[in-house]
Amino acid sequence: MYICIFFCIFAPNNKNYLPMTTQELNQAFEQVYGRKTEKMFFAPGRVNLIGEHTDYNGGCVFPCALNFGAWLLLAKNADKVLRFRSLNMDEVYEIAINAIKPQPNRAWCNYALGCIDIIARRHPEAKLESGYDILYYGNVPAGAGLSSSAAMEVVTARAFTEEMMKGLVDEWMSGLEGDKAYRTELALIGQACEHEYAGVMCGVMDQFASAQGKKDHAIYLNCDTLEFEHVPVKLNGIKVVITNTHSPHHLDSGAYNDRVRQCQTAVEQISRVKPIKFLAELSPEDWAEVEIAITDPIAKKRARHVVGEVARTAEAVEALKQGKIELFGKLMTASHVSLRDDYEVTGKELDSLAQAAWQVDGVLGSRMTGGGFGGCTVSLVRDEAIENFKAFVGAEYEKATGLKADFYVAEIGDGVARLA
């Protein structure tokens, strides 16, 4: 299963987000720190096929892991400090192991520090007894809505649960159920880091997909219970095309957290007539009965999207299982319309891409993916229409926005792993 990805390489300081071999990464670590790597880990980015802004509302999502993401290389040091460097960023950080706390100015190392701190707080047996020299590299384009931050969180959680919990991780991972439980814990650590160290009150989808990904499968995840199913993705003669707006999204800008609060308002008002914990508990039939209870018009729009999106996601997953790819595509398009009109997280760039895609013969469906406010769309495109899709959508998008799209081909890949 291949994914064609249209994106600009959003590279701070003009550093490329290109594939590197493990040998090249080891050489880079040795060049930076003057000694050899002891361990290497990888966690993937993700794309969500359908089910947007349902995760923190207790609903189901349908993401898959990609075969590009974040690498972490480490070696212990005798200095009782954590040294953070990245091949993608210029900033270098050195922090004492007994002084872990959020760093100012939105420091990128907060995504790592938060995970280490949260591991220690969630697991009293976890001990950070040594300093570490740490090197990151990522080829998920930052700001594209493909979960570069979640990949960094999950790869850090994987590395430092192993370092801080000694042999307990091996015991945890023994057997299928133990491995699933461990990977779920990695996702929860990453989500807590996002909440506490990045200030984004996100759901668990991004981290869960990075931790639990499986090659050539998407994950049908209930974000309330964390029950999930790996669903085979078989698209004969069709590609999944991700198109980047070149307008990076910023979930910490406040608009994302506004949506969370608006949905909470809807829950509070609905609960006066029908007690619920999450909007996802409502069926479309329930919604018809309780929507009158929501007096806040903005909260009502947000809730209408969530209830509809939960139902669409369930229908889309069943359609994929039954090989009804055309129906899956139509539901993707309906998802974008709802995200545009009721959730209001698309904007000119995402709408321009989706509307252009809908005009191309051979496109089964197209929608924004990720948190919105920029980032990417995801489309189902027949093989024979790919070149026309690139030409038409690219031209229409540039005409509308002055921006251009590029492409990258990836595969649906596995979740987080230790590589060496």
Residue 201's pLDDT band (cuts 50, 70, 90): confident
Write out the DSSP string of 81-150: EEEEEESS----EEEETT---PPTTT-TTHHHHHHHHHHHHH-TT----SEEEEEEEE-SPTTSSS-HHH
**192 and 293: one domain?**
no
Residue that is last in its domain, among 214, 233, 252: 233
**70 and 198: one domain?**
yes
At 277-330, the pLDDT tens digits run: 999 999 999 999 999 999 999 999 999 999 999 999 999 999 999 999 999 999
pLDDT of residue 295: 97
Strand order across the beta sheet in which 238-244 lies: 363-369, 376-382, 238-244, 2-6, 408-411
Mean pLDDT of the region 102-124:
95
pLDDT of residue 13: 34
Lowest model confidence (mean pLDDT) among 170-184, 202-216, 289-303, 339-353: 170-184
Whether the CB-CB separation of 334 and 312 falls below 8 Å is answered with: yes
Catalytic residue of the set 206, 224, 342, 351: 206
**325 and 209: one domain?**
no
At 22-41, the pLDDT tens digits run: 999 999 999 999 999 999 99
Predicted TM-score of the model (pTM): 0.89
**216 and 347: one domain?**
no
Residue that is last in its domain, among 209, 233, 257: 233
Per-residue pLDDT at 9 exceeds 60: no
Q: The CATH number of the domain where 64 resides is what?
A: 3.30.230.10
CA atoms within 13 A on the CB side of 147: 33
Q: Do β-strands 81-86 and 93-96 pair in parallel, antiparallel, or remain unpaired?
A: antiparallel
Write out the DSSP string of 97-109: TT---PPTTT-TT
In the annotation, is 206 catalytic? yes
Residue 207's pLDDT band (cuts 50, 70, 90): very high
- Of the chain, the percentage scoring pLDDT greater than 70 comes to 92
pLDDT of residue 143: 62
**156 and 277: one domain?**
no
**211 and 318: one domain?**
no
In a domain, 3, yes or no: no
**293 and 377: one domain?**
yes
Number of domains in the chain: 2
At 251-291, the pLDDT tens digits run: 555 888 899 999 999 999 999 999 999 999 999 999 999 99
In a domain, 420, yes or no: no
**397 and 324: one domain?**
yes
**243 and 339: one domain?**
yes
Per-residue pLDDT at 10 exceeds 50: no
In a domain, 360, yes or no: yes
Mean pLDDT of the region 170-184:
85
pLDDT of residue 253: 58
In a domain, 53, yes or no: no
In a domain, 358, yes or no: yes
Per-residue pLDDT at 370 exceeds 80: yes
In a domain, 5, yes or no: no
Q: The CATH number of the domain where 281 resides is what?
A: 3.30.70.890
Domain range for residue 66? 11-47+60-233
